[in-house]
Amino acid sequence: MTSTDTGATDLRTRFEQTYQAYHALMFRLARDILQDDDLAEDAAADAAVKLWEHYDCLTEPTGPQAKRFAAVLAEHRAIDLLRKRKRERFVPLEEAAELHAPAGDPEGRLDIAAALNKLPNEQRTAVQLALACGLTARQTAQTLGCTLSKAEKLISRGKAALRKELEVGYHDR
């Protein structure tokens, strides 16, 4: 093992100590600002990335300087997320949940409605927000109050289930 490898391993070990010591603090501070566990976890993770990027500035892995730095990073990231959410357009779920029937033959619209009704509620709502309302995955996540990755999965799985259901229905005719 070279001295560079040893130094990198030591740095990772020190960072892991810092992360373990202050992750709960970063999460709690972010949750207090955002009032949402998923967003708070995202903010704490983003703060941890920033902490790693500037880790060489710290003198001790778990000293008061590291604690203050971790807290400030978490608070700033949470505030950034809060500001971003306020800037982005919100569509109330009640207004966005109604699927507007596409132009075309009425039978096709009935097939789509029937296929949508077979989806689990959360998946159906995510697909309706994305397809019918034209919301991005990020906007869908905000509307549903979930993480971006969850919204992306709901939309993706919902579309796949719709395709499958519509293919089966089409072949049954």
Contact 41, 54 (CB under 8 A): no
For residues 108 and 66, state if they share a domain.
Answer: no
Q: Which two tokens stand for residue 21?
A: 């010591």
Considering just the CA atoms, what is the radius of gyration of the chain in Å?
A: 23
The whole domain housing 47 covers: 3-87
Total domain count, the chain: 2
Give Cβ neighbours of residue 161 (< 8 Å, ≥ 6 apart): 115, 118, 119, 123
- Do 8 and 80 belong to one domain? yes
Last residue of a domain, one of 69, 87, 105: 87
Angle at 89 between CA 83 and CA 94, to 5 degrees: 125
The predicted structure's pLDDT at residue 61:
79
Alpha carbon distance 36, 159 (integer Å): 27
The answer on pLDDT for 157 being more than 50 is yes
**Which is nearest to 47 in space by CA: 18, 20, 63, 26?**
26
The enclosing domain of 48 has a CATH number of: 1.10.1740
The structure's pTM equals 0.48
Helical H segments across 54-147, by residue range: 64-87, 93-96, 106-117, 121-127, 137-144
Mean pLDDT of 150-163: 90
Whether the predicted pLDDT of 100 surpasses 90? no
Q: Are residues 101 and 78 in the same domain?
A: no
Long-range contacts (CB closer than 8 Å, 24 or more residues apart) made by 57-60: 58/18
Examine the pLDDT at 168 and tell me if it is beyond 70: no
Domain boundary among 87, 117, 151: 87
DSSP 8-state symbol, 140: H
For the segment 115-156, what is each residue's pLDDT rounded down to a tens digit?
888 888 889 888 888 877 778 889 888 888 899 999 999 999
pLDDT, average across residues 75-99: 66
| Whether residue 122 sits in one domain with residue 161 | yes
What single letter denotes the amino acid at residue 142? Q
pLDDT of 41 reads: 93
DSSP state at residue 56: G
